[in-house]
Amino acid sequence: MTTMLKSCYNPPINSYHVGPPWSATESAAKRNSNAALLYHVDVYIVADKYLMPQLRLRAAFYVGKWMNRYLDVVQQSQASPGPIIAIINLHGCLSKIYEAAAAGNENTPLRKAVLDVIMSHVTTRSTGPPGIMTAEVMRCVREIDGFGRDMYVRTMGEAAKLGNVAYLEVVEEVQCPHCQNRWMKPMAEAWSVVRCISCGLPAQWSAHTVARTM
């Protein structure tokens, strides 16, 4: 609300920057979380409610910017990405984003900003070799209303551009024997003993395949 009011009295939103207006203590406490991205989603929700299109566009831009930052950190931590992936909680972020944009047009600035990042980033893209986050994106596609449709439309569009280079992955669904959390992963991606991102316990994933699909 503070950001929204400042944008009303100090146009053009000159007090709204990429970093949330937190104190040093707050910033330190929230450094290892997805709070910055969710802050900008909250600004988007307020801007949408009070019909402020410029503030809404800027909030959507910053959501995409933070999503890209998070995925860059995952890529840089690929030797042991599990803890970073859990902190980012892509499923939680996308759930809030799609709840915020559910009442509007499917091509809202918020959805487009996020899809642009997910479709292009090496950890999440849906064409070409699978990335570190491919399995998590597949889970979000299955579980988040609207996200699956958006990803299908965008993926088919990208595949058409790539021609013979594009291909679709055969995927399999695996289930954690400890917490029963389910994941979709590319069948071609060799998984042996890895830790579940949900509960953190190790499992022999090749022994817990539930189903395969295209």
pLDDT tens-digit series, residues 97-144? 998 876 555 568 899 999 999 998 988 887 777 788 888 888 898 889
For the chain, give the mean pLDDT: 77
User: Does the pTM exceed 0.75?
Assistant: no
- Which residue ranges of the chain lie beneath pLDDT 70? 10-19, 28-29, 31-32, 102-107, 159-172, 183-195, 197-198, 205-214
Helix (H) or strand (E) holding 19: none
The pLDDT assigned to 197 comes to 63
Q: How far apart are CA 97 and CA 76, in angstroms?
A: 25
Structure tokens belonging to residue 68: 């890209």
Phi, then psi, of 127 in degrees rounded to 5: -120, 150
Q: How far apart are CA 91 and CA 124, in angstroms?
A: 13
